[in-house]
Amino acid sequence: MTVINKSMFPLSTGINNIMSIKQRYDKLQTQLASGLKASNLGEMGTDRYFDLALRQRIASIESFQGNIKTVNLRLNVLDNTISRLNVIEADARASTMSGAGGQDSLNFETTPTLAAARFDEVLTLMNVDIAGRYMFGGNRTETKPVADPYEVLNGVGTRAGFKQVMGERKLADLGTAHLGRLNLAVATDTVTLAEDGTHPFGLKLSQISTTSANIATTPAAGSPPSLTVQFGATLPVAGETVTISFTLPDGSEESITMTASTDATEVGAFQIGADADTTAANFNSALQASVQTLAEGKMVAASSYAAADSFFFGQGEEPMRVDGPPYDTATGLVAGTTTNTVFWYKGEDSTNPRSSVTSKVGQGTTVAYGVQANESGLVGLVRSLAAMAVQIFPQSDPTSADRYAAMTSRNTSRLADNATASGSIEVIAVEMGLAKATTGAVGDRHTDHKAQLGNMLDTIEQAPPEEVAMELLALKTRLEASYQTTALLSQLSLVNYLK
């Protein structure tokens, strides 16, 4: 006879199966609630290595995206600022074009005033900052790169500003006789025009020519240079000319044409005398008046720009001023110091401003977006505005018209667009645009790549709710069946089968 008892249907095995199913059931419930396959790395098995690698790559991308956000903010500020500087340059150029702005009496007043206002705005814009980070000083971002506009023009304490430096340069260029540091002498039939020394100031002799066969000229030669005009026994005839060219302090060229005349009252001309000696004396007097007019008018304008070029130093330069006093007989320039001169720019002085500020925005991709206020285009704008801002053109001053015309023509030329010169406002704007385009393109790639990695990470980490729900239902059915079977087995007894 067969013995029937619980040993034939071991409860422990059934209970273990139930516990296993219950554990899986509980885990699936957790997955359904959290949406995650595992609550910790240990539960992920070998997938944890892929999970960690993907998360590291996503973290790297997010770091680059953070850099891009910061760089784009700075580039937007730089773009707006440089665009405004470009507008100021165009407005300043337009306002000094010939005939712009009304009558001379109005222009004499308004042009320097407008230049001063624009100068103030330009230097203020160059001190723009983002959360205390200054944008126009290269990698020196913690302090303002440009000095206060008022102090730059007017000085402060013992430190000279541009007005003082320009005034000293004007004295040095004019000289004691206001002849542009030239000396005139006549001896019998010969007039000699000579520079008063070897130095960078005043008018420099360039060329001489004549249309008369009866006038002998010798070109500038010697140290210091001098040239001569000699009249012979046969005198020049009315209408014949002598032209002398000069180089002005800012490097520009001007010339004086002396015309022979029989009319003693004719302006700009020299009277033909009774003989060579008298004619030479007349030529000397007329030339002296013409040189003085040139010196006090156009040369003074050129002197203003020469002073601006020296005071508003550019890349690799230092502020230079006349070595004096005395200034009207000075023979050299000397570097200004921080104790006697206002330094307009205090930022980084890199030969490659863009590379002075860089940011890594991708693996192997770095954008360079440093800007320095002493770059050629920016400092050129500052120089032109400053030179005009400090001018005074009194109606009663006979040199005002010549000086104003010389100033405006130089401003128009110096502020002309230059889309090819390194450091020009236009080129800086283009380079900032390229940097922004680079960050935009890299940012788009990061977004796409991050989405791809995120999908891969979801495959490893996320528990699909549909699959989990289906498995839960299946386990629920199995678990219920197991409970019922186990319950029945627990009630097995031989008595139940004896009737």
* pLDDT tens per residue across span 312-358: 999 999 999 999 999 999 999 999 999 999 999 999 999 999 999 99
The whole-number pLDDT of residue 399 equals 93
pLDDT greater than 90 at residue 196: yes
The whole-number pLDDT of residue 311 equals 98
442: β partners: none
284 vs 218: CA distance, rounded Å:
16
178 vs 150: CA distance, rounded Å:
30
Return the CATH fold of 72-173+310-425. Answer: f41 fragment of flagellin, N-terminal domain (1.20.1330)
**Residue type present at position 92:** A
Q: What is the DSSP letter of 265?
A: T
The whole-number pLDDT of residue 171 equals 98
Q: What is the DSSP letter of 299?
A: I
pLDDT per residue over 430-446, tens digit each?
Answer: 999 999 999 999 999 98
254: β partners: 246
pLDDT greater than 50 at residue 4: no
Confidence of residue 484 (pLDDT cuts 50, 70, 90): low
- CA distances (Å), origin 98, targets 95, 112, 115, 252: 9, 15, 16, 18
pLDDT greater than 90 at residue 17: no
Which backbone phi and psi does 329 adopt, to 5 degrees?
Answer: -125, 15
pLDDT greater than 80 at residue 217: yes
The whole-number pLDDT of residue 397 equals 92
Q: H helices of 103-148, where? A: 104-125
Q: 309: how many CB neighbours lie within 10 A of its CB?
A: 19
82 vs 88: CA distance, rounded Å:
10
pLDDT greater than 70 at residue 29: no
pLDDT per residue over 87-101, tens digit each?
Answer: 999 999 988 775 554
What is the per-residue burial (b if ≥16 Cβ within 10 Å, else e) of 121-137? ebbebbbbbeeeebbbb
Confidence of residue 139 (pLDDT cuts 50, 70, 90): very high
The whole-number pLDDT of residue 164 equals 98
Q: Higher model confidence: residue 174 or residue 492?
A: 174
Q: H helices of 233-327, where? A: 276-294, 300-311
pLDDT greater than 60 at residue 218: yes
The whole-number pLDDT of residue 238 equals 96
315 vs 435: CA distance, rounded Å:
22
The domain spans of the chain are: 1-35+463-499, 72-173+310-425
| CA angle (326, 331, 335) in 5-degree steps | 85
| Contact assessment for residue 230 and residue 210, using Cβ atoms and an 8 Å cutoff | no
The whole-number pLDDT of residue 1 equals 44
pLDDT greater than 90 at residue 18: no
Confidence of residue 261 (pLDDT cuts 50, 70, 90): very high
> What is the rounded average pLDDT of the residues 241-258?
97
